[in-house]
A and B are shown apart, each in its own frame.
Chain A
Amino acid sequence: MSSASLDIATLYERHADDLLVFLVRRTADVEVALDLWAETFAQALAGRSRYRGRSDAEAAGWLWTIARKRLAMYFRKGRAERRALERLGLERPELDPLIEEEIARRAGLGELRRELAVAIAALSEETRIAVRLRVVDELPYADVAARLSISEPAARSRVSRGLRALGDALDYGPTTEGARA
């Protein structure tokens, strides 16, 4: 797969399922994961002219890097971006309960939620509160810092520590990123 012939359709065919499972397991939210998943492929399509790889493995790595960046951005901002989708005039299909159920089943979401509950309970109280303020309540770091009466760098450190811990819990599942990318 040369840079001149990057085939998004083939990338999609090979990675759509696994990428979705990965994102569901990282976010524990099917809707959010689908937004990130769709935006990942839209970004891959929109940015394919910038792809410089030569092999299938490089193409896969490139795609998964886009996905990880979208995920990191989601954790930072607390919302899934849709810029490439909007630019392309692309919409993902509407989700219905049947499909949501199947995606959750493939990702092992029920079990994952139980694991997450354990992981969250294992966080220190101060870390748990910081993660909740940032990720659940979607507060800017400045506000998280103000609420906790700590400096902003300390708030960032605390949240990132919590997310790392939760991320470690989310790394285990029916399929893993490492096995695919």
Chain B
Amino acid sequence: MTDRIESYDAYISEFGRRLAVAGKPGRPSYARRHRYGLLALGAVCLVAAALSPPGQAAISWAGELVGIGEVGGPPTSDDRPEGVSPASDQVVIANGSAPDGTRYEIVVYRTDDPVAGDPERGSTCIFVDFPAREGTNGGACGDNTFEGEGRMFPYGVSGPAEDGVPENPYVSGYVKPEVARVTVRREGDHGPPIEAEVARLDGQLQQRIGADAPIGLFLAFLPRDFDVEDLGMRGEALEITAYDPAGAVLERDSVPPADQGRPASAASEKFTPAQQKAIDRIPPADRIEFEVLDCSTIDLGTGQTDKGGGPTTCISSKPSAEVKEIAPNITTSDIFNWEGENGERDPLLQAECAFLRKAGAKVGSYCD
């Protein structure tokens, strides 16, 4: 009995601790990256030219003393979050300038904190920092999530922001260490892809911070008109492709992940991106119209009336005229299955419940 209670208390405490760590300011996390919506890119080649090739970066570090913010040296600012146990120095593995000239540094360090996976192992943290913009770093810590396995891990879209206005949006993430080239393309766009910069943590640098395995990282600045709302999980999707040195495709992935923050897959196939965006702009509650039906007489499809134990109010629902104008073939099911960053079914449920209440229905716990 005592063991059981102690185990429970420890469980609750442990999640509380993880929650507290996740909420620390400056933590390089998925969430921080997404805090800053999106904006633009103009000069992809400028970025590509500004970054050091990964191989040269390691050689430079090994061969000479390097300065603050330089490849192989310490970062300009110490953005390690409070509470993280450092197990190595922070080291810059790439640097350069965003399209508007804002300087960035890609920084790695090792921590003893097991962010995910085996608690006996520490984690390697990699993040993109903009030293001139306080609190704009974004990245992730992990161990077997991407080390060694080399699975592509595009962890999001973000960009440094002034007063909440995002600038220089970018997408970054992890790739297999053998990846030589990464391209980023807006879903459905058939023009030339954006060439990402690829940096690598390997060799002596990897040994220096004690990472278990080499890691590749990509960074690509995005066009100004790229549409991502709120936390960066809605709007357009990006297709990311990684190639080996011979040009063969090694990995493909997308941001956001195909099953998150985007219209349901069925809707994706059924509607054009333009239709989806247009429908996304309509408040969810305005996408559907409800109508009161007479429960005592209506044929619910069974050939019988819905008497006895049935609802006090029957309603039907159909797509609103505004939505039908955009997508004539849309169905009620499509609308109820439409998914968005903020859970667009909640407003739909609220609208349904508001209508039911207005109609005098006893909505009960369904609408709590």
| Interfacial residues, chain A to chain B (CB-CB below 8 A) | 8-9, 12-13, 16-17, 20, 38, 41-42, 45-46, 48, 68-69, 72-73, 76-77, 81, 83-84, 86-93, 95-96, 98-99, 101-103, 105-106, 124, 126-127, 140-142, 145, 148-154, 156-157, 160-161, 163-164, 167-168, 171
Contact = CB atoms under 8 A, between A and B. Distances in A.
A101 B19 CA distance: 24
A89 to B, nearest CB: 5
Contact of B22 (A45, A106, A148, A164): A45
Contacts of A127: 309
B334 to A, nearest CB: 10
Given A86-B30, A88-B30, A89-B140, A101 B4 contact: yes
Interface string B354-365: 000000000111
A87 B233 contact: yes
Interface residues of B, number: 54
Contacts of A96: 7
Interface of B: 3-5, 7-8, 11-12, 14-16, 18-20, 22-23, 29-31, 34, 115-116, 140-142, 156, 231, 233, 260-261, 300-302, 306, 308-311, 314-317, 332-333, 336-337, 343, 345-346, 349, 363-366, 368
Contact of B343 (A73, A90, A91): A73
Given A73-B346, A96-B7, A157 B337 contact: no
A41 B31 contact: no
Contacts of A41: 15, 19
Given A9-B16, A161-B311, A140 B337 contact: yes
Given A46-B231, A89-B115, 18 more contacts: A8-B23, A41-B15, A42-B19, A72-B345, A72-B349, A73-B345, A77-B345, A86-B30, A87-B233, A89-B29, A91-B116, A99-B7, A103-B8, A148-B301, A150-B300, A154-B301, A163-B365, A167-B364
Given A73-B345, A73-B346, A140-B337, A154 B364 contact: no
Nearest to A157: B311
6 contacts: A84-B31, A98-B3, A102-B4, A105-B4, A106-B8, A154-B300
A68 B366 CA distance: 10
A12 to B, nearest CB: 5
Contacts of A88: 22, 29-31
A64 to B, nearest CB: 10
A72 B300 contact: no
Contacts of A77: 345
A126 to B, nearest CB: 7
A164 B366 CA distance: 5
Given A16-B16, A46-B231, A87-B233, A149 B302 contact: yes
A172 B345 CA distance: 27
A152 B12 contact: no
B293 to A, nearest CB: 8
Contact of A152 (B19, B314, B332, B363): B332
A75 to B, nearest CB: 8
Contact of B11 (A13, A93, A163): A93
Nearest to B5: A102
A165 B142 CA distance: 45
Contacts of B333: 140-142, 152
A179 to B, nearest CB: 15
Contacts of A160: 311, 366
Contact of A69 (B18, B343, B365): B343
B15 A38 contact: yes
Contacts of A12: 16, 19
Most interface-central of B23, B233, B332 (chain A CB within 10 A)? B23
A136 B231 CA distance: 32
Given A45-B23, A68-B368, A124-B309, A83 B233 contact: yes
Contacts of A45: 19, 22-23
